[in-house]
């Protein structure tokens, strides 16, 4: 496996494979790889001839006051994992490689229908940072397929919209959230949890599943379901940022007749913000 930092070197490598007719799968990550990322990479490998992983803690998606400085950077360990998994190329650029004119006034990509709601409401600018860096990666690499996790469900929907709107010729695949045995969704940020917080954390998914079950049984009082789940989270010791019932396809507020729903939440445990979601296949 080769590790490449420079975009022009990356382009050369990929063009050589592409002119050979080989399909390329890209899994974009911010590093500190865990089993959730490995599931994305495994999926990518089944869909393409060559597998490329990017590791880049993207500064523009961290809102001021967030954990950009202390975000875990473990490139050597990540590279070892990727080598073991048979990944062909690791792209690990520096900030200047992806933002050649610096971070002030850089070109931005916005997805207004989706970037201000849910997580975007409390993390203003976060999704513009995500959309911008994903656009850069897609432009640079022109992969055939790219894989994202369902844990970051809003990100997944936003990237699907971005790709459809800008007409990128790439197929977007997603992979189910990988969980600990007790239900906690894997996340690089779980390492910030204290022992006591870690014991409480699986409650997030329990409350999501309960709400999904209530909706599945036909309850359409979305506001009551949201309020009840919010109180349940508070009783467990979370500070909910939001708990929302949405349409799975576009994250808009559902109508009574919508069938394909999703419940999503973000909640603080101490200084750690956790997100998770659960799909609802309703009975009507």
Greatest distance between any 2 Cα atoms in the chain: 58
CB-nearer residue toward ligand PAF: 148 or 243: 148
Under 8 Å between Cβ of 254 and 272: no
Catalytic site residue from 34, 37, 101, 271: 37
Distance in Å, CB of 34 to ligand PAF, minimum: 11
Q: Which stretch binds ligand PAF (CB under 6 A): 23-31, 39-47, 92-100, 213-221?
A: 23-31
Asked if 154 is part of the footprint of ligand PAF (rule: CB under 6 A), the reply reads no
Q: Which stretch binds ligand PAF (CB under 6 A): 68-76, 127-135, 216-224, 235-243?
A: 127-135
CB-nearer residue toward ligand PAF: 245 or 275: 275
Identify the three-state secondary structure at position 54: strand
Asked if 30 is part of the footprint of ligand PAF (rule: CB under 6 A), the reply reads yes
Asked if 130 is part of the footprint of ligand PAF (rule: CB under 6 A), the reply reads yes
CB-nearer residue toward ligand PAF: 108 or 234: 108
Q: Which stretch binds ligand PAF (CB under 6 A): 25-33, 74-82, 199-207, 239-247?
A: 25-33
CA quadruple 38, 40, 42, 47: dihedral, nearest 10: -160
Q: How does DSSP classify residue 177? A: P
Spatial CB neighbours of 136, under 8 Å, sequence gap ≥ 6: 98
Q: Is position 34 annotated as part of the catalytic site?
A: no
Q: Hey, which residues between 231 and 260 contact ligand PAF (CB under 6 A)?
A: none
Under 8 Å between Cβ of 265 and 251: no
Of 24, 133, 138, 229, the one binding ligand PAF by CB under 6 A: 133
Question: How far apart are the C-alpha atoms of 111 and 130, rounded to whole Å?
Answer: 10
Asked if 29 is part of the footprint of ligand PAF (rule: CB under 6 A), the reply reads yes
Q: Which stretch binds ligand PAF (CB under 6 A): 22-30, 70-78, 95-103, 112-120?
A: 22-30
Q: How does DSSP classify residue 60? A: G
CA atoms within 13 A of residue 56's CA, in its CB half-sphere: 31
Q: Hey, which residues between 51 and 80 contact ligand PAF (CB under 6 A)?
A: 58, 61
The 10 Å CB-count burial string (b at 16+, else e) for 99-126 is beeeeeeeeebebeebbebbbbeebebb
Question: How far apart are the C-alpha atoms of 41 and 35, rounded to whole Å?
Answer: 10
The residue ranges that bind ligand PAF (CB under 6 A) are 28-30, 58, 61, 130, 133-134, 152, 155
User: What amino acid positions are annotated as catalytic residues?
Assistant: 37
């Amino acid at each position: 496996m080769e590790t490449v930092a420079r975009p022009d070197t990356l382009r050369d490598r990929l063009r050589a494979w592409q002119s050979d007719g080989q399909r390329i799968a890209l899994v974009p990550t911010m590093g500190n790889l865990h089993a959730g990322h490995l599931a994305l990479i495994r999926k990518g490998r089944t869909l393409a001839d060559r597998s490329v992983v990017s590791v880049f803690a993207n500064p523009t998606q961290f809102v001021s006051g967030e954990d950009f400085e202390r975000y875990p950077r473990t490139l050597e360990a990540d590279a070892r994992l990727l080598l073991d998994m048979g990944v062909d190329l690791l792209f690990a650029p520096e900030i200047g490689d992806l933002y050649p004119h610096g971070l002030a006034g850089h070109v931005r990509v916005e997805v207004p229908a989706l970037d201000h709601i849910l997580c975007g409401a409390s993390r203003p600018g976060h999704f513009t940072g995500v959309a911008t860096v994903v656009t850069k990666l897609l432009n640079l690499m022109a992969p055939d397929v790219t894989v994202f996790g369902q844990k970051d469900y809003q990100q997944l929907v936003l990237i699907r919209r971005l790709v459809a709107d800008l007409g990128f010729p790439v197929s977007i695949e997603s992979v189910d959230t990988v969980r600990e045995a007790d239900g906690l969704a894997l996340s690089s940020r779980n390492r910030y949890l204290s022992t006591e917080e870690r014991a409480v954390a699986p409650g997030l998914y329990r409350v999501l599943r309960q709400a999904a079950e209530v909706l599945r049984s036909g309850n359409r009082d979305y506001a009551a379901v949201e309020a009840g789940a919010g109180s349940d989270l508070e009783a467990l010791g979370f500070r909910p940022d939001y708990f929302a019932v949405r349409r799975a396809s576009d994250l808009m507020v559902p109508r009574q007749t919508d069938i394909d729903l999703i419940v999503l939440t973000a909640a603080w445990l101490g200084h750690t913000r956790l997100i998770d979601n659960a799909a609802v296949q309703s009975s009507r």
